[in-house]
């Protein structure tokens, strides 16, 4: 088993993944089930149109609560779902090296005839597949919830925004992996990557509210995640490519730094 890091990572994470999947699915379906009640109150959209700051911070600027796309964007995909996937990805990636290093098992693993690059690569691929599986749970849950309340919603929209969410969360996971590859400290990796995730969200949400900084959101990964509204318009390939490029950059740095760093024993 030690020679197959990919399967070992899946085995170690299987129980916690089940809880993540069940909790995320329940949140999505319950939220979607409230759509018929909310869509019958058009005044809500008018209220959030007037309170642009609140709508921008907590709803990603989506104020239309009466359409399926507006409701799902404002209640799920503007903040809740990406946060869940980001936390999941940061948690997994920050612990993939640091947890074993803290337990003193990483040096045992590396004592086997297996290279460092293979260890971190297989762990990273396993975590990426876990994120993909959780994204599938998200997509299926949206479709199930939408069918239960008879939402007029195509499959393309939820699929596109779920892919975009996966790309955003993978970026922050790769950042957490980079930090932990540099210093081996999980807490620092969580703090830095989580802090940057929160900071860049507020940059995305607040800079459009000021005329002088309205284009400042482009420095935030969140801009490339949802500004093009993939739920309504489909996946924006330029934005998706930007997220993928940054993720590849972080992952490459992580691989290089882990291969060079002295491991604590």
Instruction: Report pLDDT digits (tens) over 29-60.
Output: 999 999 998 877 766 666 655 555 666 666 66
- Pair of tokens at residue 256: 């290089």
For residue 204, give Cα distances in angstroms to 24, 63, 90. 24, 16, 20
In a domain, 92, yes or no: yes
Instruction: Look up tokens 């990636």; give the residue.
Output: 93
In a domain, 236, yes or no: yes
Rounded distance between C-alpha atoms, residue 66 and residue 46, angstroms: 11
The pTM is what? Answer: 0.88
In a domain, 47, yes or no: no
Instruction: Report pLDDT digits (tens) over 218-238.
Output: 899 999 999 999 999 999 999
Number of domains in the chain: 1
Question: What domain range includes position 194?
Answer: 5-37+67-260
């Amino acid at each position: 088993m030690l020679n197959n890091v990919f399967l070992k990572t899946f085995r170690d994470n299987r129980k916690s993944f089940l809880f993540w999947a069940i909790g995320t699915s329940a949140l999505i379906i319950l939220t979607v089930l409230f759509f018929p009640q909310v869509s019958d109150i058009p005044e809500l959209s008018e209220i959030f149109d007037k309170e642009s700051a609140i709508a921008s911070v907590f709803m990603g600027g989506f104020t239309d609560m009466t359409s399926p796309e507006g409701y799902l964007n404002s209640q799920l995909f503007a903040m809740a779902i990406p946060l869940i996937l980001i936390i999941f990805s940061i948690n997994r990636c920050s612990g993939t090296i640091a947890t074993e290093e803290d337990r003193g098992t990483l040096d045992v693993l590396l004592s086997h005839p297996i290279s460092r690059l293979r260890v971190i690569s297989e762990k990273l691929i396993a975590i990426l597949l876990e994120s993909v599986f959780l994204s599938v749970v998200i997509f299926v849950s949206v479709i199930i919830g939408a069918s239960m309340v008879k939402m007029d919603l195509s499959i393309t929209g939820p699929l596109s925004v779920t892919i975009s969410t996966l790309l955003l969360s993978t970026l922050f996971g790769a950042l957490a992996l980079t930090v932990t590859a540099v210093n081996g400290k999980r807490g620092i990796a969580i703090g830095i990557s989580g802090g940057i995730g929160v900071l860049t969200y507020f940059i995305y949400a607040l800079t459009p509210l000021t005329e002088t900084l309205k284009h400042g959101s482009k420095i935030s990964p969140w801009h490339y995640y949802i500004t093009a509204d993939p739920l309504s318009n489909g996946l924006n390939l330029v934005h998706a490519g930007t997220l993928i490029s940054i993720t590849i950059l972080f992952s490459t740095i992580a691989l290089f730094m882990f291969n060079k760093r002295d491991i604590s024993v």
